Structure 1
């Protein structure tokens, strides 16, 4: 409407239309009421009956009002669908929804549909975050960084311990709650279990007897072999040696073949790295790689190692190294597909050397890393 143009009430407009319908001409109405013929014609069209059903009519104005109402109802339904997940939650999440959708829907309408007051919404927008909210935000940022640094491997317990190490002491439940809010969790993947061998196995002495405690490094070692699949080269094999005191992987070797040479190379690497000078126990399963004459001869040649064996069909006798291989599978191996042996070898090297030994904390050693645990033991010695 242009500036200075006269405005008329709906009652006035409807009366003019009634006079027209009663027989008054456009010229007469224009002259008597100082109205332009085009204005009167517009009012007439607006109020002209439209047949919507047999025996039922509505005016054009009513029809436009229905279209407008229907459009509003459709928008309200869309808002309800979008905001369904927020309605039963805290009011702050409803406010967040409104803020995130203000470019698509009118704020007044969203407040009406979601049953919150506009004044409360605008008050929320200008509300300063509390000290607690600021503190939680910093903790959440730290949790995200710890989880990312662990390549999504850490769960609530280890993240909680990592927070403590950085000077943030909160309960495990709060850590779990914040992780749930952030939508992060530890990676969990089932490990591959090869079929058991049907070859007859002779019982050997179990010197370790599931006593996985040690008083210092290079006192008790455990070893085992696990399977790693590649696309090009098929199954490859990793032999590992762990020190039970530090839980550090002190020796390992990879091969395309599961044989005595593989088991021997892992042990030789452990001896080369650790340089033990006192007698120690080496525990393994009854696999042919560990019961072979070549392995026995090397053990004897060291004049330091007493070989201990798990019982037949007793994986718990060697639980610690089994646990390491399980972690390796769920945190690394089952998350990717290695193209060939070399790709797998490099990935395993990075996992053991860069992550497991030097960064991954362990509950069994007071949430230290294996390398830190070994370093402390060497200082005491």
Structure 2
């Protein structure tokens, strides 16, 4: 049950509340306040009557409590103005909160509107600590400088990523930036790449290219899963991978990779997987190095590598053949890793090339860039040729590819 006698301040606040809510009814406001609808209506009428007749009221009104009502109305009007102003402020502030950090947005709103409304009032309405606002304003210059540096760094990362044909992930982008003299942590690069929507390409599903010939001659395993070498031109691995072409026969790529520098010493592309494919790749490696005498050539048990023709080419070049176990990709992991990198970065998410011509050109570009520019994690994020050029001259008297 409501009070029988209400203080003047309560009446004034009740009237002010009703006036501040244009869509509300007297009944709903009265229910919120716990007073009778007719009681609130009388207070509102009294306030309106006093407001309209305040200048012509007889002098005797003062003796009947008129001054008290005028005071109540003055309080109510002031409160209404405050509520309306708060409503306007919150409407303006709503435009600042579409996205981003809420605290930063509140501080920015106070900064933009402090001349009109004052810092204290705005901070109260937005439930923002004034000390937080003043700290934000005091550090604005440092933040702006940091943001400018971050934007500049993001632009550099975009350039590196674009220059790699969109293939580099954070580790290689980091190495490229460090190569340009920019000291930066790979975690920061990864964070910026996530922010601007960049990532390296991912590996696609494998396609089987190795077909073992049970009756073919086998060579011993001279590598033993040790895919390292103390000097260039001493240990090589080779393999075949395929290049899918839309609506046509796929192409096949045979490679010869130096385990010391990871350099692609020789390669060949054809629309078949006959023995000529791998012998052409080995011949290309011999032209690159000048001589392969004494080097080990490690492969899987594919019929091309176990063929008599390939064995004769190896003997002619002074190369010792080596093979891992049948069906074990781990025994030729270095070549498998190269193929995976090629597929991941040359395909770039595609199912295949639109034509044989484009497939050959894209492969040529990537394979060449692999040697000259692509950074390799095992080489301290240097390219194979950069790694070889940094070796002592006595170990790099090697002929270049024609």
Band the TM-score falls in, shorter-chain normalisation: 0.5 to 0.7
The change in CA–CA distance for 1:327 and 1:94 in structure 2 (over 3 A counts) is farther
Distance 1:252 1:113 in 2: 71
Equivalent pair of 2:201/2:348 in contact (CA under 8 Å): no
Cα deviation 1:52-91 (Å, max 9, x = unaligned): xxxxxxxxxxxxxxxxx999999988876x33x643xxx3
1:178-232 residue CA offsets vs partner (Å, 9 max, x unmatched) = 3333332222232323287586365531112122221222111111000111113
Contact 1:228/1:236 (8 A) holds in 2: yes
Question: Is 1:326 the counterpart of 2:340 in the alignment?
Answer: yes
Distance (whole Å) between structure 2 residues aligned to residue 264 and residue 14 of structure 1: 104
Let me know the Cα RMSD of the aligned residues: 4.4
Aligned to 1:158: 172
Q: Which of 291, 307, 314 is the matching residue for 1:276? A: 291
Report 1:184-203 matches (<5 A): 184-194=198-208, 197=211, 200=214, 203=218
* 1:356 paired residue number: 370
Query: In the superposition, relative to structure 1, how do residues 182 and 222 fare at CA in structure 2: closer, same or farther (>3 Å)?
Result: same
Q: Contact 1:216–1:377 (CA<8 Å) still a contact in 2?
A: no
| Number of corresponding residues | 319
Quote the offset at 1:130 in angstroms. Answer: 5.1
**1:236 correspondence with 2:261:** no
Cα distance change on mapping 1:198 and 1:218 into 2, 3 Å: closer
Point out the more displaced range, 71-80 or 328-337: 71-80
Deviation (angstroms), 1:241: 1.0
Contact 2:209 2:240 in 1 (8 A): no
Question: Which residue is equivalent to 1:293?
Answer: 308
- 1:61-72 to 2 correspondence within 5 Å? none
Q: Deviations over 1:282-329 (max 9, x none)?
A: 111110011111111222222x10011121111111111111110111
What 5-or-longer segments of structure 2 have no aligned partner? 1-18, 20-43, 57-85, 114-118, 396-402
Specify the alignment match of 2:140 in structure 1.
127
The separation in 2 between residues aligned to 1:372 and 1:247, in whole angstroms, is 11
Match of 1:379 in 2: 393
- Counterpart of 1:342? 357
Matches of 1:156 and 1:329, distance apart in 2 = 19
Residue 147 of structure 1: how far off its partner (Å) = 2.2
Could you tell me which residue of structure 2 aligns to residue 3 of structure 1? none
Cα distance in 1 for residues equivalent to 2:126 and 2:144: 29
Distance in 1 of aligned mates of 2:273 and 2:105 = 56
SS, match of residue 290 in structure 1: coil
Whose strand proportion is higher, 1 or 2? Answer: 1
Mapped pair 1:223 → 2:231 = no
TM-score computed with the length of structure 2 as normaliser: 0.65
Q: What are the ranges of 5 or more consecutive residues in structure 1 without an aligned counterpart? A: 1-9, 20-31, 33-68, 103-107
CA deviation after TM superposition for structure 1 residue 177, in Å: 3.1
Aligned counterparts of 2:207 and 2:90: Cα–Cα separation in 1: 58
SS in 1 for 2:165: coil
Alpha-carbon distance in structure 1 between the residues aligned to 2:209 and 2:87: 66
Distance across 2 between alignment mates of 1:235 and 1:241: 20
Partner of 1:39: none
SS of residue in 2 equivalent to 1:254:
strand
TM-score by length of structure 1 reads 0.68
Contact 2:213–2:301 (8 Å) recurs in 1: no
Query: Are the equivalent residues in 1 in contact too, given 2:266–2:282 (CA < 8 A)?
Result: yes
Secondary structure of the residue that 1:179 maps to in structure 2?
A: helix
Q: Does the CA contact (< 8 Å) of 2:210 and 2:301 recur in 1?
A: no
Alpha-carbon distance between aligned partners in 1 of 2:319 and 2:210, rounded to the nearest angstrom: 28
Post-superposition Cα deviations, 1:338-381, rounded to whole Å, max 9, x if no partner, equal 1121210110000011x211111112122210111222347343
CA distance, structure 2, for counterparts of residue 76 and residue 94 of structure 1:
8
Change in 2 beyond 3 A, CA 1:346/1:115:
farther
How much has 1:260 moved relative to structure 2? 0.6
Distance 1:148 1:141, change over 3 A: same
Give the Cα–Cα distance (whole angstroms) in 2 for the partners of residues 253 and 216 of structure 1.
Answer: 24
Matched, 1:317 2:331: yes
